[in-house]
Structure 1
Amino acid sequence: MTIDPIQLTADLIRCESVTPNEGGALVLLDGLLTEAGFACTRVDRGETSNLFARWGDKDAPTLGFNGHTDVVPVGDIDAWTKDPFGGEISDGILWGRGATDMKSGVAAFAAAAIDYVTRNQPENGSIALAITGDEEGDATDGTVALLDWMAANGERMTDCLVGEPTCPETMGEMMKIGRRGSLTAYFTARGVQGHSAYPHRAKNPIPALAALVDQLARHSLDQGTSHFDPSTLAVTTFDTGNPATNVIPAECRATVNIRFNDAHTGAELIAWLDAKAAKVAEDFDIEIDTRATISGESFLTEPGAFVDLVAQAVEAETGVTPALSTSGGTSDARFIQAHCPVVEFGLVGKTMHKVDEHVPVEQITQLKRVYFRIIETYFA
């Protein structure tokens, strides 16, 4: 049984699976994987559809693949030159929402896995596919739900590869062995409203909050670590919501986002933010409330056997030695890292989330070959 990953990607693109809609994408994959001998289970939670598929004994060493079939909205439909859900192939290019991020990646690893299990029968090995419909959304009921279900049902992956686009410009040039953590902090400064002509009768929260965000923005969190660039802090909004020029407002708000490396934990950074806010509040004699959310902790899969295996497979099929990177935003690997060693490798991601998202079809075929070689070598 041989699956064409290009055709499968096109078929998946035709499934209008904008988060949280399943759109038929997981139904399509379920059918193909079941026919190939995978035991498939829908792990839906809330409005999110998820699929877990295993071939082989769950007690055997298990190579896992993770990806998502949900996509971001198309945006301005009139700006597209191709049907975003048409799956059109023209001049060696496949067009449509999800062509890069990441229906092509899911198609490539599903096709590679199906091809492998229909040709080989390793005595002590298993393949697991954990596919979610909630990566582009809140990500609370997607891969997290799959991992919760796996824990409750005695399912486990020994190592996992996430098929997100990882290459900036050239196929094969980069794989991810870790990701920075992400934290967003929301500050609300409260004073006393008053007339701007009589500032002594008011308590202006704006200078206090301005001082706080200035201190945070000028602070150097670290100088980087062995596998990570320096952590960053960005002020993303500062707002009083005050339309009047003669009123000192009683309240103003600011938000900062921190992308942090493995020199920090989210809890440590929140404690630092709380302490800075408390000091400024004391200095200016106002109240500052702080609320923070952690999207994910930083993590690193140390270079070793699994990282080497993936890197060697990439180089063998692309002729390019991949850089071992921790750059970029977050992915569902941030959840998997607590379950097993995880790395990411996928296509060139230049058009992801853009109007007229597209991918050269040769990259999809190449990606399937990389994944097939990884599976083959893993069970050799």
Structure 2
Amino acid sequence: MTGEVPPETSKEEAADLLAKLVSIDTRNPPGREKPLAEFIYEWLESREIDAEIVDRPDPDRPQVVAEIGAGDPDAGKLVLNGHMDVVPPGDRDRWSVDPFNGVVADGRVYGRGTSDMKAGLAAAMLAGRAAESSGAVDGKLILTFVMGEETAEPGTKTLLEGIDADYGVVLEPTELHVHTVAKGLAWYAVEIGGKSSHASKPELGKNALDALFGNEARLSAYRHRIAERTHPLIGESLCTPTMVSAGTKENVIPESAELRMDRRFLPSEDVDDLDEEIDGVFDPLREEGFDVSINRVRTYEAAEIDPDEHVATVFRKHANDVAGVDTAPAGKNAATDQRNFVNDAGIPAIIWGPGTSAQSHTTDEWARVDLLHDSVDVLCRAVEDLCSVSVEET
């Protein structure tokens, strides 16, 4: 490979490909990845890239794997990973464009999933084409297009079970900054059971909503306590109440209340310890006679690699050379499939991509065409370094 974007990859083509990907509605829930998986598979096959449709873990939501290169055992093997699903667009009347039309304007592509993370998918496809056309990949470049990331499903984890690789890149939006660590995420459902009565005689009931509000000081103290746990690249540990539901009618003492919480945790924190901590916050309500059940309903583990891991230093160098991107170590506050590479497969992986993180899940979401174009250049250079027989770690 030449280390440069091949002449046929123009900004216009990159934008057009991203617009096509966005125009395929892959919102999750409910999970509509199949049409996009078929599009990507056909796009790769038409460019003589060896691709495969994988029907695990869900045959109705297939994934795509492609391999490029000679497979020399003395050369490196790199995985580029991206999820095909996107979050729902929300109230479409708030959008100034059709969220699934892929509008190109003013150096941006607009639509749901542009930044998170179909720009990353487009970059992987175009870099894969460049690698195949060059015929100069000594090792292996592996492309994985996965399902279910937005809902913590085992898309990436399933594909990695059959892949042997030295490095990984999770193509989440970072504006070409290299992130080597990501926070974990745990969602909790706290259900408080009391006793109903007529609101004119509240003393005959046990008001579950009063119990929940009365516990606010304990929860606040816990949130302040865990905020003292910090990481130099991703900041503090967090616990944020996000949803409350209670009551059946205005004049009925609520016999139950539910609180949902978003718990962001650091690599140094163990998820089982989080369960015990959350449970302890609500123990006093049990002592007051309320039934309390707490369930962790979704988990994304935290993940981290050394900031000076070879894959990180290679991408920092080329992102700086191509686009002047800052080389300072960085991390991502959100959870990603990096955890499946690092924690499950033992593959050192960075989080890196052309999207803009602040655009994730927003109304009128957009991605910059110049960053998408630059990302293909960076990927070509990185593949040349990482998938060569003469890999020299720095």
Pairwise same-fold verdict (TM > 0.5) = yes
| Equivalent-residue separation in structure 2 for 1:368 and 1:251 (angstroms) | 53
Shift of 1:206: 3.8
How many residue pairs match? The answer is 366
| Contact 1:266-1:294 at 8 Å conserved across structures | no
Q: Which residue of 2 is the match for residue 25 of structure 1?
A: 36
Per-residue Cα deviation, 1:245-294 (whole angstroms, up to 9, x for no partner): 4x433322222221111231111110222233334312x12221111234
Per-residue Cα deviation, 1:4-58 (whole angstroms, up to 9, x for no partner): 4333223323333334223643223223323444332211214322101112339
Moved over 6 A (4+): none
Matched, 1:240 2:255: no
Matches within 5 A, 1:241-256: 241-245=247-251, 247-256=252-261
Matches within 5 A, 1:203-218: 203-218=206-221
Helix, strand or coil: the match of 2:236?
Answer: coil
Matched, 1:375 2:379: no
Which consecutive unaligned segments of at least 5 residues does structure 2 have?
Answer: 1-5, 389-394
Q: Which residue of 2 is the match for residue 11 of structure 1?
A: 20
Shift of 1:185: 1.8
Q: 1:51 aligns with which of 60, 64, 70?
A: 64
| Contact 1:48-1:141 at 8 Å conserved across structures | no
Helix, strand or coil: the match of 2:261?
Answer: strand
Shift of 1:135: 2.7
Distance 1:49 1:194, change over 3 A: same
Q: Which residue of 1 is the match for residue 193 of structure 2?
A: 190
Q: 2:307 aligns with which of 284, 294, 303?
A: 303
Distance 1:228 1:250, change over 3 A: same
Q: 1:223 aligns with which of 204, 229, 232?
A: 229
More displaced 10-residue stretch of structure 1: 351-360 or 108-117: 351-360
Shift of 1:76: 4.2
| Contact 2:78-2:167 at 8 Å conserved across structures | yes
Distance 1:361 1:202, change over 3 A: closer
Per-residue Cα deviation, 1:91-135 (whole angstroms, up to 9, x for no partner): 433333333222221111221122123214344x11111102323
Matched, 1:315 2:329: no
Matches within 5 A, 1:1-380: 2-3=8-9, 4-19=13-28, 20-22=31-33, 24-44=35-55, 45-56=58-69, 57=71, 61-123=76-138, 125-136=139-150, 138-147=151-160, 151=161, 153=162, 155-167=163-175, 172=176, 174-196=177-199, 198-219=201-222, 220-221=225-226, 222-245=228-251, 247-282=252-287, 284-304=288-308, 305-338=310-343, 339=345, 340-347=347-354, 348-380=356-388
| Equivalent-residue separation in structure 2 for 1:368 and 1:190 (angstroms) | 55
RMSD: 2.7
| Contact 1:182-1:330 at 8 Å conserved across structures | yes
Distance 1:187 1:162, change over 3 A: same
Helix, strand or coil: the match of 2:329?
Answer: strand
> TM-score scaled to structure 2, two decimals?
0.83
Helix, strand or coil: the match of 2:230?
Answer: coil
Match for 1:326: what amino acid?
G
> TM-score scaled to structure 1, two decimals?
0.85
Distance 1:209 1:356, change over 3 A: closer
| Equivalent-residue separation in structure 2 for 1:252 and 1:97 (angstroms) | 34
Helix, strand or coil: the match of 1:187?
Answer: strand
Helix, strand or coil: the match of 1:257?
Answer: strand
| Equivalent-residue separation in structure 1 for 2:96 and 2:116 (angstroms) | 19
| Contact 2:41-2:64 at 8 Å conserved across structures | yes
| Contact 2:152-2:300 at 8 Å conserved across structures | no
Shift of 1:369: 0.9
| Equivalent-residue separation in structure 2 for 1:326 and 1:234 (angstroms) | 20
| Equivalent-residue separation in structure 1 for 2:212 and 2:23 (angstroms) | 49
